[in-house]
Each structure stands twice: as structure tokens, then as C-alpha cells.
């Protein structure tokens, strides 16, 4: 007996029913073959055609690159005191490849709120790196403890977000020497595109101004990093490779912190500048400009509100010690040199002075409105006679005066390392014709001879000018990088006759002992030589100048003080500032009245 009965109920097969029992089997086999073939071809495509890409994606999910930014080199003053260094802080990083697209909007919103960064900025940063980037990218620097805590509280909602320690720039003296030191900041897109060939990468911090920019190559160091293997939770399983970051080199400047502090205090809140340098080799001992800024604010992201507030302080990023202004009567040193070196005026020349010197239709007035009678170079410098030096300039001639202006370094950059330096202006006939379509006149020469007219000089250039008679006739090249080179490497002889130098030095000394600079004739200080200047600067108030060097017989330091639109004369406004810096350099203070003198009588 058969166990299984045929499904036809015992009917015999017919031509119409033959093979029907195997039809379903054929269909199943066909479908299976189609599916297997499709899957096989897809696997073949993924393996053969897309294999490299998929292996890279898998590798990127497993391998993480952790960059280590180098610690920037320190900046020291001439005696090894710290002017700029680095401190540890916390930064926020994103790991793009670990960001889940579905969670990304929520992550971005949370970061924006916690870090006070626009979502668009965060999005742009990730897009620049690429969502498949295996490297961490920094989105914020120097975050606060409160922000660290907030990020920790929401860590379960912030996959791919990490907080790590990094070094940021620190200026322990705040805004002191800000225009010299400059500041650091992260490269923007445009800067990065220009400097990629130099090895810079997204997120790099670079010098943006001053010494930080000038010595970027020394200070920057070299990136390091780790290549690590991580698990699905992002935990490090093992270090695959490591390159230590190489710290930047330290830089020692010629600045003297003590003198710099004294210059900062002397200028106070006045708009202007003070420069102090060694007249023998051009080493800059102090350089101050006001208004100023605190470079520490650039250690973190600058908001639009902060930037607007900074700009509202009157161009605080302009280094006025390297911007041009009319040099006024300080320029008479150049005029005296041109007169004697031209051969037209002997060192013993005596000329009458007047209430005003008439040149064509223009009267060049004497500042005392009366004149000083017949005087020579020494007395003319001491009393700053406009009519005396007007005659000298007119007699020597415009070309000679212009030639000596340029020999002293006016109208050109001094060569100091800072890129912000302006060249000033020494006008000539060609310049005037090009700019004004007018010919050069005798009046232009006379105006120039007293430091007015078209001439523009920077406080740094004026300091270089004063260094020339101080050191015996050499033009020095001011510099900020301290080294052990001999002074002759930093100066060039102007081939001025010794008799000319002698007369100018006598005149500058008499300015202090019996002329317009008596405020610096104090018994507790070594002998000082110098010159005042008050520049007409319409439509504002006059500028005040005073330049001095000391000791007068063997100078060690030149100081130039400049007060922009001060409203007072050089002797009244700028001379006391110069004295204050000299006091700090020589470690001298005015004697204090005795207690007996201070006590009131009964």
C-alpha cells in the first residue's frame, strides 16, 4: 500500500498536466538564481570597483588622527624677562567622521548655544574639513570652566565632540609693548590658501602683527600628532604612530622691560608715541604707541562686538611710533648739517634774526614774535630760531636740504623688522609737480628747513636722526632682535665733518642748559642734550616733540617723545615725558623734600 496518494486523486496524467508538479520548483530556482546573481554582482562591484574607497572608509572609522599643535616660542626682553609666553587652556574639537548626520543638527545647535558661536560658522568649519575627515578640527579656543561643565553635561548628545588641552598665547604684562609684540590669531581661509605651501594647515595660529609676525618662522615650531586605533565607542585601543610636536624657538629682544614700563607710564593716555634706542648700535630699548590694545584678547575668538569696541578707541592698531608727522623744530638738526656741510655757512656763522622772515608773499614768523638778535648755530639751536634756520635753508638750497634729509634716513623705512613701518615723506620738485602740478618754491625750502610743509617723519626716524650727532656721525639701523654683533654692523657713516658734529652737539646741549629744554636741566641726572619741536597740524591742535640723549658727552640712550594734537609745546608737554624715561634708564629719581621742610610751622 502506498503511503502517499497522488494529488490528482488517482487520475491519470494527461498531456495538459504533464510537468505541472515541477513548475513551482522551476520558479523557485529561477528567483533564487536571480537574487544570488544580483547579490553576487553587487558584491563584486563593491569589492572590485569600490574596494579601495570602502576600505578607506572602514579604516577612517577605526583610525583617528590626533594633531598636536606645537608650543609657540617665548619672547624675552634684553635681560631675559618674559614678554610673551604660552599657557594651557581648553579647546573644543570635532571629529567629523564620527558625526552622525541625523544627530548633526542637534549637535550643532547645542554647540552654538554653549559656545556662543553661530551655527553657520560651525557648519562652515566642518564643511571645510569634510565630513569624512579622520582628523580632529578645533572649533573654539580657551573655553571657560562653565562651558567645559556644560559640554560634559550634554556629552551623550555630543557624539564626535571632544574637549582637549592646548597651549595659547599669553602676554603677562597685558597691553605693555603691544604694538611691538603684536598678537597671534588663527589663519582665515584666504591666509591659509596663501600659506599652504609653507606647511600651514587649517586651525594654525600665526603671528598677525609686530614681533609675532616678524619672527613667525622662529616662533611657530612644528606640528606633531598621534595615529590611534579606536573602538566603536571612540575609545583608544592602541597608538599606531606618534610624532612629537617641536616647540618654537625663543626670541630675545633688545627691549628693556624697565625702560618700556617707564615710557608707557610717561605717555599715559595721551595719543602719541615714545621711542628709546641705543644711539651706538640702534637697539630699540622701548617703543610705545597710544591708543593701544591688550593682545591677550586674541587668544580666543574675537566677536564682532569686541572688534567694534576696539576700533572705537581711535585706531589702536596703528603704531604711531612708525607713522609720519611733521617733525617741526627737531628737524633743525638736519638743516644745521646741510648748511655747514654745503660749505656756504661756516660753523662760526652769525646771522641776524627777525620777528618774521619774509619770503615772497609769505612771512615765516619767529615763535617769540621778536627774534633773538645776531646769533650762531649753537644759540639758534638752543632757542629754536625759525628765522635763523629759514635763512640757512634758503641759502643752502632745496636740493641740498633734501639730500641731507635722506642721508639722515627721512623719507625711507629705517629697516626695523616690523612690517607696519611707514616711510614718511621728503618732498621734492618732482613730487610736488606730480601731486599738485606746481613748481617747487623758495618758500617750500624755508618751510622744510623748520620741519613744516610737506615733510613727514616718524618718531622712530627722528630717534635715528638724534642718534647721529650722539654717536659722532653715524646713521644707525634700529632693530629689535638682540644679538652679539658689533655696533659697526648696525651703522653707517654719513661722512659729516667733525666740526659740524661738534657744533650740533654743543647746540643740543645748550638747549637743555640755557634754552627751550631747561626742564631737563636737573642736578640729579647726567648731562642731557636735546631739542624741542611744536608742529602746526591743522585743523587740530599742534603736535609736541622732544628728543634727547644722555649722557651728553658719552651718550648711551636716545629718547623721542611725541604727543599728537596735544595743544601744548614740545618743551611743556613732551620734555617731561622724555625726562621720565631717562630717569628710569639711569635709575635716578628727583630728590624728595625733607620731612623738616614738609612740616608746617607752629
For residue 446, the model assigns a pLDDT of 98
Kindly provide the residue ranges of all beta strands, DSSP E only, lying in 150-283, ordered along the sequence.
161-170, 184-186, 205-207, 224-230, 236-243, 251-252, 272-277
Closest by CA to 541, choosing from 563, 515, 567, 570, is 567
For residue 9, the model assigns a pLDDT of 45
Residue 582, classed as helix, strand or coil, is helix
In the chain, % of residues over pLDDT 90 = 63
Rounded Cα distance between 456 and 543, Å, is 12
For residue 1, the model assigns a pLDDT of 34
Per-residue HEC secondary structure of 400-412 comes to: HHHHHHHHCCCCC
| Strand-strand pairing, 529-535 and 491-493 | unpaired
Helix H or strand E segment including 85: strand 82-94
Rounded Cα distance between 308 and 398, Å, is 45
Highest mean pLDDT among 5-14, 94-103, 249-258: 249-258
Rounded Cα distance between 380 and 390, Å, is 11
Confidence tier at 412 by pLDDT (50, 70, 90): very high
Residue 135, classed as helix, strand or coil, is strand
Residue for cell digits 638743516?
335
CA dist list (Å): 600 to 593, 595, 596, 597? 13, 10, 8, 8
Q: Does the pLDDT at position 6 exceed 70?
A: no
Query: Which backbone phi and psi does 450 adopt, to 5 degrees?
Result: -110, 15
Closest by CA to 508, choosing from 549, 543, 538, is 549
DSSP for 350-370, written as a single string:
EE---SEEEETTEEEE-TTSS
Helix H or strand E segment including 390: helix 386-396
- Kindly report, residue by residue over 165-180, the tens digit of the pLDDT: 888 999 999 999 999 9
CB 183 within 8 A of CB 212: yes
Q: Does the pLDDT at position 360 exceed 50?
A: yes
Q: Which residue has the higher pLDDT, 142 or 456?
A: 456
Positive or negative: CA dihedral 459, 462, 466, 468: positive
- Domain spans of the chain, in order of start: 63-252, 257-585
Q: Which residue has the higher pLDDT, 506 or 37?
A: 506
For residue 64, the model assigns a pLDDT of 66
Q: Does the pLDDT at position 52 exceed 80?
A: no
CB 526 within 8 A of CB 510: no
For residue 45, the model assigns a pLDDT of 52
Confidence tier at 422 by pLDDT (50, 70, 90): very high
User: What contacts 445, CB < 8 A, 6 or more positions away?
Assistant: 393, 394, 397, 398, 401
Instruction: Cell numbers for 367, please give them.
Output: 615763535
Instruction: Cell numbers for 581, please give them.
Output: 624715561
Closest by CA to 143, choosing from 279, 290, 299, 3, is 299
Is-cis flag, bond preceding 546, omega within 30? Answer: no
Query: Which backbone phi and psi does 288 adopt, to 5 degrees?
Result: -125, 145
Residue for cell digits 626742564?
519
CB 223 within 8 A of CB 70: yes
The residues facing 363 across adjacent strands are 358
Kindly provide the residue ranges of all beta strands, DSSP E only, lying in 342-413, ordered along the sequence.
350-351, 356-359, 362-365, 375-376
CB 44 within 8 A of CB 36: no
Helix, strand, coil shares, percent, the chain, to 5: 40, 20, 40
How large is the average pLDDT for residues 508-517? 97
Confidence tier at 204 by pLDDT (50, 70, 90): confident
CA dist list (Å): 64 to 133, 162, 215? 9, 13, 33
63-252: CATH architecture: Alpha-Beta Complex (3.90)
Mean pLDDT of the chain: 87
Q: Does the pLDDT at position 211 exceed 90?
A: yes
- Kindly report, residue by residue over 373-391, the tens digit of the pLDDT: 999 999 999 999 999 999 9
Helix H or strand E segment including 345: none
Q: Does the pLDDT at position 130 exceed 70?
A: yes
Task: Tell me which fold the domain 257-585 belongs to.
Answer: Beta-lactamase (3.40.710)
Rounded Cα distance between 206 and 208, Å, is 6
The one-character DSSP state at 99 is -
Q: Does the pLDDT at position 460 exceed 50?
A: yes
For residue 254, the model assigns a pLDDT of 97
CA dist list (Å): 32 to 23, 38, 47? 14, 10, 22
**Which of 8-17, 204-213, 346-355, 387-396 is the least confident region?**
8-17
Rounded Cα distance between 353 and 386, Å, is 8
For residue 591, the model assigns a pLDDT of 87
For residue 366, the model assigns a pLDDT of 96
Q: Does the pLDDT at position 29 exceed 70?
A: no
| Strand-strand pairing, 557-563 and 272-277 | antiparallel
- Kindly report, residue by residue over 218-239, the tens digit of the pLDDT: 999 887 876 767 666 555 677 6
pTM: 0.84
Could you report how far apart the first and last alpha carbons of the chain are, in Å? 151
How large is the average pLDDT for residues 557-576? 96
CB 485 within 8 A of CB 402: no
CA dist list (Å): 432 to 425, 438, 594? 12, 6, 60
Task: Please indicate whether the domains covering 63-252 and 257-585 agree at the CATH topology level.
Answer: no
Confidence tier at 100 by pLDDT (50, 70, 90): confident
How large is the average pLDDT for residues 499-522? 97
Rounded Cα distance between 4 and 8, Å, is 12
How large is the average pLDDT for residues 318-324? 97
Amino acid at each position: 500500500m502506498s503511503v502517499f496518494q497522488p494529488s490528482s486523486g488517482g487520475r491519470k496524467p494527461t498531456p495538459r498536466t504533464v510537468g505541472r508538479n515541477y513548475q513551482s520548483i522551476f520558479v523557485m530556482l529561477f528567483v533564487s538564481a536571480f537574487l544570488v546573481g544580483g547579490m553576487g554582482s553587487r558584491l563584486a562591484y563593491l569589492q572590485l570597483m569600490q574596494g579601495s574607497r570602502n576600505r578607506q572608509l572602514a579604516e577612517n572609522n577605526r583610525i583617528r588622527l590626533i594633531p598636536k599643535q606645537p608650543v609657540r616660542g617665548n619672547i624675552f626682553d634684553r635681560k631675559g624677562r618674559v614678554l610673551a609666553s604660552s599657557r594651557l587652556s581648553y579647546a573644543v574639537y570635532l571629529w567629523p567622521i564620527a558625526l552622525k548626520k541625523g544627530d548633526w543638527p542637534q549637535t550643532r545647535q547645542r554647540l552654538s548655544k554653549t559656545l556662543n558661536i553661530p551655527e553657520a560658522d560651525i557648519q562652515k568649519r566642518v564643511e571645510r574639513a569634510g565630513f569624512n575627515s579622520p582628523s580632529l578640527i578645533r572649533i573654539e579656543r580657551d573655553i571657560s570652566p562653565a562651558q567645559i561643565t556644560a559640554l560634559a553635561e550634554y556629552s551623550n548628545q555630543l557624539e564626535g565632540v571632544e574637549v582637549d588641552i592646548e597651549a595659547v598665547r599669553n602676554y603677562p604684562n597685558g597691553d605693555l609693548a603691544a604694538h611691538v609684540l603684536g598678537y597671534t590669531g588663527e589663519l582665515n581661509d584666504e591666509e591659509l590658501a596663501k600659506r599652504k605651501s609653507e606647511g600651514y594647515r587649517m586651525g594654525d595660529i600665526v603671528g598677525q602683527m609686530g614681533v609675532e609676525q616678524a619672527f613667525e618662522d622662529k616662533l611657530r615650531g612644528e606640528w606633531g600628532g598621534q595615529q590611534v586605533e579606536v573602538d566603536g565607542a571612540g575609545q583608544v585601543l592602541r597608538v599606531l604612530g606618534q610624532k612629537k610636536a617641536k616647540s618654537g624657538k625663543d626670541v630675545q629682544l633688545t627691549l628693556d622691560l624697565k625702560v618700556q614700563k617707564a615710557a608707557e607710564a610717561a605717555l599715559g593716555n595721551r595719543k602719541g608715541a615714545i621711542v628709546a634706542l641705543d644711539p651706538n648700535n640702534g637697539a630699540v630699548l622701548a617703543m610705545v604707541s597710544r591708543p593701544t590694545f591688550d593682545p591677550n584678547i586674541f587668544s580666543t575668538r574675537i566677536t564682532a562686538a569686541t572688534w567694534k569696541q576696539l576700533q572705537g578707541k581711535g585706531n589702536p592698531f596703528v603704531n604711531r611710533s612708525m607713522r609720519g608727522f611733521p617733525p617741526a623744530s627737531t628737524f633743525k638738526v638736519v638743516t644745521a648739517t646741510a648748511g655747514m656741510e654745503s660749505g656756504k655757512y661756516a660753523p662760526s656763522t652769525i646771522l641776524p634774526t627777525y620777528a618774521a622772515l619774509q619770503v615772497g608773499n609769505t612771512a615765516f614768523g619767529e615763535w617769540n614774535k621778536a627774534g633773538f638778535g645776531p646769533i650762531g648755530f649753537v644759540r639758534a639751536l638752543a632757542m629754536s630760531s625759525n628765522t635763523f634756520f629759514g635763512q640757512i635753508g634758503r641759502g643752502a638750497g632745496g636740493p641740498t636740504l633734501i639730500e641731507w634729509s635722506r642721508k639722515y634716513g627721512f623719507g625711507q623705512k629705517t629697516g626695523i623688522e616690523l612690517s607696519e613701518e611707514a616711510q614718511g615723506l621728503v618732498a621734492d620738485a618732482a613730487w610736488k609737480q606730480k601731486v599738485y602740478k606746481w613748481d617747487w618754491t623758495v618758500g617750500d625750502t624755508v618751510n622744510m628747513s623748520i620741519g613744516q610743509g610737506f615733510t613727514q617723519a616718524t618718531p622712530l626716524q627722528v630717534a635715528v636722526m638724534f642718534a647721529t650727532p650722539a654717536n659722532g656721525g653715524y646713521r644707525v639701523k634700529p632693530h629689535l632682535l638682540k644679538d652679539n654683533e658689533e655696533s659697526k654692523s648696525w651703522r653707517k657713516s654719513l661722512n659729516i665733518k667733525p666740526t659740524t658734529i661738534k657744533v650740533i652737539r654743543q647746540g643740543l646741549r645748550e638747549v637743555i642748559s640755557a634754552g627751550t629744554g631747561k626742564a631737563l636741566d636737573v642736578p640729579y641726572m647726567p648731562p642731557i642734550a636735546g631739542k624741542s619741536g611744536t608742529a602746526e597740524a591743522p585743523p587740530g591742535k599742534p603736535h609736541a616733540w622732544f628728543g634727547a640723549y644722555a649722557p651728553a658727552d658719552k651718550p648711551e640712550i636716545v629718547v623721542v617723545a611725541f604727543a599728537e594734537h596735544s595743544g601744548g609745546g614740545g618743551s611743556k608737554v613732551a620734555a617731561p615725558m622724555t625726562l621720565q624715561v631717562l630717569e628710569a634708564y639711569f635709575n635716578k629719581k628727583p630728590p624728595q623734600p625733607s620731612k623738616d621742610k614738609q612740616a608746617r610751622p607752629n
